[in-house]
Structure 1
Amino acid sequence: MKLKFTAILTGVFLALFLVRIGPGQTAEQGETGEKVRRTVSESVEIRKQTQKEREQWQEEKQELAAAYDRLQDKKTRLEKKQALLEKKKAAAEKRIAGKEKKLADIEQITKEIEPFVMQMADRLEEVVENDLPFLAAEREKRLERIRELTADPGKSVSEKYRRVMEALLVEAEYGNTIEAYEKNIEVDGRSLRANIFRLGRTGLFYQTMDQEECGWFNAAENSWEKLPAKYNKDIAGAIDIAAQRQPAELLTLPLGRMVVK
């Protein structure tokens, strides 16, 4: 294209040169030559401007093509990113659906467990009320905490269940242990300070501090009763074993009759 344009310019300049040097040039011919020169000059300017605009358009075309390529790359990246986000969204929706199902299951279980927890709390209170009178203050305090907990609407069912089960386990454990402690008791209208021996949940026995008198708790009569002096030695041994003052050994203790309430 540049070669062609250069050839055109050369032809134009040659024509101008011939017009200017022609022999015997008249005034009319001079005027005509001037018009030709102007016309040629204008054509040259137009062609220059056209070439300039064409070159500018080529540059803009290249810039637009480069911008288009960049936009295509960006579009590809965005499409990949969108596909990844769609996968994450689907996974999140699946997890949310799973969580919602778990919450619904928990709500259903809560509705079923709460009445059971209340029944167990009532049962625990009945056990303590009808049991042998040992560790009364400690056990009553535990019951009071359970009453407050089960009556509190702000506490979760899981917390209520856990605390009630813990209390039941403590009560159950009393059946597998022995214990010795001091306590004031009333026997036949007399107030005595005595050592108390607890044999699991099976029996309670007492011995006065001077070891001269011993007895047991009659669950059928709900009262302390005196035992024959022959049990003094075995009850004293049982108290020492519970207090870890001597090793375990076989002892003979009266258990009386089992009472069902």
Structure 2
Amino acid sequence: MTLAVALGLLISQSDGFAAEKLKRAIDIEVAGQKAAGNSQKSVERLDDESRKMLEEYRLLSQQLQRTKLANDDLQSQVERQSDEIQRISAELKEIDRMRSELDPLMQQMLETLAELVARDSPFLSEEREARVASLQGANEDRSIEISERYRQLLEAYQIEADYGRNIEAYQAQLVTEAEQQKMVDFLRIGRVALFYQTLDGKAGGVWDNQNRRWISLDASHMTELTRSIRIARKQLPPDLMVLPMRIPEGGSR
């Protein structure tokens, strides 16, 4: 081997080593860049996850706050309902107490009303007796509220009270002592007097409540009785009525 050939081989081997070192250096650099890129991606991914977790935390915190407020409101409602239940319970007890006191009172009032109608002058008898019967039926019907039964009873008392403050003329059947019926005109002056007159205006009478009978009136009273009936019907203007009155307990006519 000559010196030139040996030197050439030496140079070739040196270039090969240098190229190998350069390649390794490049590979290391590339690997480092890849690693750096992967690390950056990992950091970015972790940052995204952190932001996502933070947002979820905020949402959960808001939901928790809303739930707490809803629970507080629900608790307030429960307390209010509890107070309302206690109030209603107390009112029901008071109603039961009032009912226990009202029932006997209403029964007594009803009996008094029935006695009044039975012993009073026989005006509007069918209407008044039917009203009492209706009240008695309602008082026995426990499906009707006690307040409604009491209202009906007070209304009946008011109607009876009004009878004593007005005059009225109406037609109805008169039952005679012979148990015969005939249509006549009735004239009621408050509760003071009750008259009747036949439809032809030729006969009439006044009620004697003490003896529970009708007393015939003289024919001389028929003209005034006719006029008084027309006044009660508002067919004539209001005016003084001059009629014979039957005074209880033996008074004069």
1:105 and 1:85 map into 2 onto residues whose CA distance is 30
Change in 2 beyond 3 A, CA 1:155/1:193: closer
Name the structure 1 match of 2:189. Answer: 199
TM superposition shift of 1:71? 1.8
In 1, are the aligned partners of 2:207 and 2:246 still within 8 Å (CA)?
no
Change in 2 beyond 3 A, CA 1:24/1:110: same
Give the aligned residue type for 1:76.
Answer: Q
TM superposition shift of 1:249? 1.7
TM superposition shift of 1:106? 2.5
TM superposition score normalised by structure 2: 0.74
Give the aligned residue type for 2:111.
Answer: D
Secondary structure, in 3 states, of the residue corresponding to 1:155?
coil
In 1, are the aligned partners of 2:171 and 2:184 still within 8 Å (CA)?
yes
Write the mapping of 1:43-62 to structure 2, written as runs, cut at 5 A: 52-62=41-51
1:105 and 1:223 map into 2 onto residues whose CA distance is 49
Name the structure 2 match of 1:219. Answer: 209
Name the structure 2 match of 1:73. Answer: 62
Change in 2 beyond 3 A, CA 1:251/1:41: same
Write the mapping of 1:71-220 to structure 2, written as runs, cut at 5 A: 71-185=60-174, 189=178, 191=180, 193-220=183-210
Please provide the CA RMSD for this pair. 3.6
Change in 2 beyond 3 A, CA 1:195/1:44: closer
Higher mean C-alpha deviation, range 42-51 or range 188-197: 42-51
Percent identical residues: 25
Secondary structure, in 3 states, of the residue corresponding to 1:143?
helix
Secondary structure, in 3 states, of the residue corresponding to 1:205?
strand
TM superposition shift of 1:188? 6.0
In 1, are the aligned partners of 2:187 and 2:195 still within 8 Å (CA)?
yes
1:94 and 1:249 map into 2 onto residues whose CA distance is 65
Higher mean C-alpha deviation, range 104-113 or range 180-189: 180-189
Change in 2 beyond 3 A, CA 1:195/1:55: closer
In 2, are the aligned partners of 1:180 and 1:197 still within 8 Å (CA)?
yes
1:140 and 1:234 map into 2 onto residues whose CA distance is 31
Unpaired runs of 5+ in structure 1?
1-22, 26-34
Give the aligned residue type for 2:218.
Answer: P
TM superposition shift of 1:195? 2.6
Higher mean C-alpha deviation, range 182-191 or range 88-97: 182-191
Name the structure 2 match of 1:257. Answer: 248
2:215 and 2:178 map into 1 onto residues whose CA distance is 11
TM superposition shift of 1:160? 0.6
2:179 and 2:88 map into 1 onto residues whose CA distance is 65
Unpaired runs of 5+ in structure 2?
1-11, 15-23
TM superposition shift of 1:129? 0.8
Secondary structure, in 3 states, of the residue corresponding to 1:225?
strand
In 1, are the aligned partners of 2:138 and 2:149 still within 8 Å (CA)?
yes
In 1, are the aligned partners of 2:173 and 2:183 still within 8 Å (CA)?
yes
TM superposition shift of 1:184? 4.2
Aligned length: 237
In 1, are the aligned partners of 2:186 and 2:196 still within 8 Å (CA)?
yes
Q: Deviations over 1:25-73 (max 9, x none)?
A: 8xxxxxxxxx999999999987776665454334322322222222223
TM superposition shift of 1:181? 2.7
